[in-house]
Amino acid sequence: MEQRKHTGEYALITGATSGFGYEFARLFAADGYNLVLVARSEDRLQQVADEMMSYYGITAIPLAKDLFYSDAAREIYEEVRQRGIHIDVLVNDAGQGEWGHFADIELQRSLDIIQLNITSLVALTRYFMTPMLERGAGKILQVASEAAKAPMPLLSVYAATKAFVLSFSEALTNELEGSGVTVTALLPGAADTDFFHKAHAESTVTYREEELQTPEEVALDGYKALMNGEAKVISGGKTKMHVFMANIMPDEANAGNMRKKMEVSDKKEGRECPAHTASKKERDDINRLTGVMSGDRTEEQYGF
């Protein structure tokens, strides 16, 4: 907590109110970074910003934006620029999925997920990379997933978006060689955050039955790799094994394996909500506002 290696530098983190994003915020703040924190919930963002400022003595700016909207990335860039802030590190963490047969999921929900996981990520990367290249320094962390490595029935659009994120990041790493700017792709396995609830995937074998990674360990792996300028990091032993298997198995077999994990569990007992405090807070907040275990919120429900 007393380390102040990066005093005066700024990290912008999307998805900072819950799960990995919240843990990233803590890691950056502990190293002395000032923060720009992005998510939709203004209240939760303010709480997280206050927490980071009072505990770590840094500056934390909450920026409530909905990355389902195509203009949000530009608005974030403009607001940061108007404040005269240079972003030294960009963490593209915010992401969602939706569980179920593609044909049963409302088309707009799938398109929103593509907007959030791909289009907004690409736009934020482009906006903030340009000044980094001009300065010859900067770091970008792209949160992908082990899902990037295998087709995922019942979470098909989500896994495909993460395949995009991984491919995009690895190509940028090559293009940026020698520029002073690095891009790191983080591949976590299934972890104990609010992700499964937002995706309506809380009844799946993976969520109900499997041991999940903690957001703390995932964020730490990502943070270390980012700081070392590594191109890619797979978080956790089990995830490394999954990725190894996905690399050597035919895609049909990978799809079959993933399908089993995404089926509805027949176990009566099992995990029902995140143990991770910030993610549980996010879930409690959503439930309080919507009255149901809803994945996504409408603008009216969340009072934007």
Ligand X SMILES: NC(=O)c1ccc[n+]([C@@H]2O[C@H](COP(=O)([O-])OP(=O)(O)OC[C@H]3O[C@@H](n4cnc5c(N)ncnc54)[C@H](OP(=O)(O)O)[C@@H]3O)[C@@H](O)[C@H]2O)c1
Q: Which of the residues are catalytic?
A: 158
| Of the candidate residues 93, 98, 202, 221, the single one contacting ligand X (CB under 6 A) | 93
With contact defined as beta carbons under 8 Å apart, do 33 and 56 qualify? no
The residue whose Cβ lies closest to ligand X is 19
Q: Give the footprint of ligand X on residues 273-292 (CB under 6 A).
A: 279, 282
Q: How would you classify the pairing of strands 89-92 and 138-143?
A: parallel
Structure tokens at 88: 């030294």
Strand order in the sheet with 60-64: 60-64, 34-39, 10-14, 89-92, 138-143, 181-187, 232-234
Q: How would you classify the pairing of strands 89-92 and 10-14?
A: parallel
Nearer to ligand X, 227 or 289 (CB): 289
Return d(Cα 258, Cα 238) in angstroms, integer: 14
Q: Give the footprint of ligand X on residues 133-172 (CB under 6 A).
A: 143, 145
Nearer to ligand X, 19 or 138 (CB): 19
Nearer to ligand X, 58 or 116 (CB): 116
Q: Give the footprint of ligand X on residues 45-64 (CB under 6 A).
A: none
- Collapse the DSSP code of 280 into the 3-class scheme (helix H, G, I; strand E, B; otherwise coil) and give the result: helix
| Residue 23: CB minimum distance to ligand X, A | 8
Q: Which residues pair with 86 in a beta bridge?
A: none
| Residue 197: CB minimum distance to ligand X, A | 7
Binding interface with ligand X (CB under 6 A): 14-21, 39-41, 44, 66-68, 93-96, 116, 143, 145, 188, 190-191, 193-195, 198, 279, 282
